[in-house]
Amino acid sequence: MRRIYLDHAATTPIDARALKAMRPYFSEKYGNAGSLHYFGNEAKKAMEKARAEIAHAINAEPDEIIFTSGGTESDNLALQEIAYPNKSRGNHIITSVFEHHAVLHTCKFLEKDGFKVTYLDVDSRGFISPKELESAITGRTILVSVMHANNEIGTIQPIAEIGKICRERGIYFHTDAVQTVGKISIDVKKMNIDLLSSSAHKFYGPKGVGFLYVRKGTSIHPLMHGGGQENGLRSGTENVAGIVGMAEALKISIREMGKENACELKLRNKLIKGCLKISDSWLNGSLTNRLAGNANLGFDFVEGESIVIMLDEKGIAASTGSACSTKSLEPSHVLRAIGLPHVKCHGSLRLTLGRSTTARDIDYLLKVLPGIIKKLRAMSPLRKGVDISEFEGKIEHTHEGHAH
Amino acid sequence: MYSERALKEFRHPKNIGEIKNPDGLGKVGNAQCGDLLWTYIKVGKNKAGKEIITDIKVKTFGCVAAIATSSILTKIAKGITIEEALKINKEKIAKELDGLPPNKMHCSVLAMDGLKRAIEDYRNKKAK
């Protein structure tokens, strides 16, 4: 069967050129970057070259880049290890309601430890307001964490404005840029960013490796303790092959960014236009200030997991914000944040394009999707005018796991 | 995540639709979790004079598990007595589908709740 991958926000295939660059570091140049001998130096040299290249990509200095295992670790390191050492200055953190769970759950964890967290709302188009952020700042605020672009609806947040507000007040500003590094130009100096999280597998690099940018002079403590690698901020033998692959993938992404974005944008807009021809459908999030490859659509009266499984059987890989697709059985917090009622959250479909996406892929999707929605609607008790207000109740947790 | 049997049932569900003038209608679900289920039944009598479910149809808004369990339940319930139908349990439904992921077991409970509610509705109407 022909397989079409439209889930690039989840992960991307590794670029062949990045894979080639990594290869020698598994079995030929396998040294530990901390060793004094030839093998160690060889690994160390490759790693420092990668560090310089990554720093250059975001206009940072090489010693401001800490290698980590990916986005989640970078977010945890940034939030926890800014929060604790600065607790004497204040215990207030500001973030937004639609951050990735790596940020949100870390904030929840910090709340249990005496920190106060303000979760900024987002508007119906999917943006946070710098003004609201400004008025949420108190004398006890030590850290602001706002994502660069949202992973579900792709809306790009005004982080340069936020960075400026934070810098003027001496508050640390962290941004989760997992969805944007390699896709949008980032200049940490111009944007007044103090900490930035990134993950290689989102920009055609390998999984299990990422980085955290930490601006010089930022007082941060390590999350991982041990051999003192990464200037003592992240112990553990460095993943040299992964780091080399990440740097190569990032160089390629930045080089091809303009061409890539133009191509994805054209195909994405064709996709959205085609999907919106289906009755009772809508686009989640603003069409402008949005990642080029992101489309997130809603279809009334049907449920997302069913759409995803039916698409999968036609060879198309997609994702959904439906509760049924998650372990928690809660619908997407992002779609809830932009004001969608529960039942509409369940009918969402995220399609994220990438380097390999072609016009033929989009044509094929647009050929099969209307039939799938029609089939599911024929099974559904919902249609225009059916009142479901009596079923809007809260989930009750019982011995069955959860009851209705 | 799903068994081949559950996916097969999802792809080709049986008894999907409505019954006009049903003897019983059960509406259950929770919009927050994303599953809503309308169960329609017709009730008749068998030779022994016992009430049996002569026809059953469902309409389901929900995930693969919700649709598959709805379908399998209608197959089990069609033609059996109301007493027997009320004894169907979630384990039996899950077993017919070669198991369900643990976080989807509640879908089989929902399918049963729908049928119970339809039978209740039938009994209430009859008592009037």
- pLDDT for B78-97, tens place per residue? 999 999 999 999 899 999 99
A257-382 carries CATH number 3.90.1150.10: yes
- pLDDT bin (cut points 50, 70, 90) of residue A389 is confident
- pLDDT bin (cut points 50, 70, 90) of residue A391 is confident
Residue A117: predicted pLDDT: 98
A132 to A123, A127, A143, A262: CA distances (angstroms): 11, 11, 15, 33
Q: Which residue has the higher pLDDT, A353 or B101?
A: A353
Which chain A residue has its CA at the smallest distance from B64's CA? A306
How many domains does chain B divide into? Answer: 1
pLDDT of residue A397 exceeding 60: no
Residue B1: predicted pLDDT: 84
Give this prediction's pTM.
0.94
A377 to A132, A365, A389, B11: CA distances (angstroms): 40, 18, 19, 14
Percent of chain A's residues with pLDDT above 70:
96
pLDDT of residue A388 exceeding 90: no
- pLDDT bin (cut points 50, 70, 90) of residue B105 is confident
Q: What is the mean pLDDT of chain A?
A: 94
Residue carrying structure tokens 């559904």: A380
Interface contact A323-B106, CB threshold 8 A: no
Closest by CA to A79, choosing from A46, A115, A103, A111, is: A103
Q: Domains of chain A: which residue ranges?
A: 16-255, 257-382
CATH number for the domain spanning B80: value is: 3.90.1010.10
**pLDDT per position as a tens digit, A267-287:** 999 999 999 999 999 999 999
Q: Which residue has the higher pLDDT, B127 or B31?
A: B127
Q: Cα(A378)–Cα(A380) distance, rounded to whole angstroms? A: 6
B89 touches A: beta carbon within 8 Å: no
- Strand pairing report for A316-317 and A4-5: parallel
**pLDDT per position as a tens digit, A277-329:** 999 999 999 999 999 999 999 999 999 999 999 999 999 999 998 876 666 66
Which residues in chain B have Cβ-Cβ distances shorter than 8 Å to A381? 27, 36-38, 59-61
A16-255 carries CATH number 3.40.640.10: yes
What is the secondary structure of A204-267 as a DSSP string? TS-TT-EEEEE-TT-----SS-SS-TGGGTS-S---HHHHHHHHHHHHHHHHTHHHHHHHHHHH
Which residues in chain A have Cβ-Cβ distances shorter than 8 Å to B67? 306, 379
Domain boundaries, position B94: 4-127
Residue A393: predicted pLDDT: 64
A384 touches B: beta carbon within 8 Å: no
Residue A72: predicted pLDDT: 98
**pLDDT per position as a tens digit, B43-78:** 999 999 999 999 999 999 999 999 999 999 999 999
Closest CB from B16, B65, B106 relative to A379: B16
pLDDT of residue A396 exceeding 50: no
Question: In angstroms, what separates the C-alpha of A94 from chain B's closest C-alpha?
Answer: 28
Rounded average pLDDT over A45-67: 98
Neighbour-count burial for A293-325, b at 16+ CB within 10 Å, e otherwise = bbbbbbbbbbbbbbbbbbbeebebbbbbbbbbb
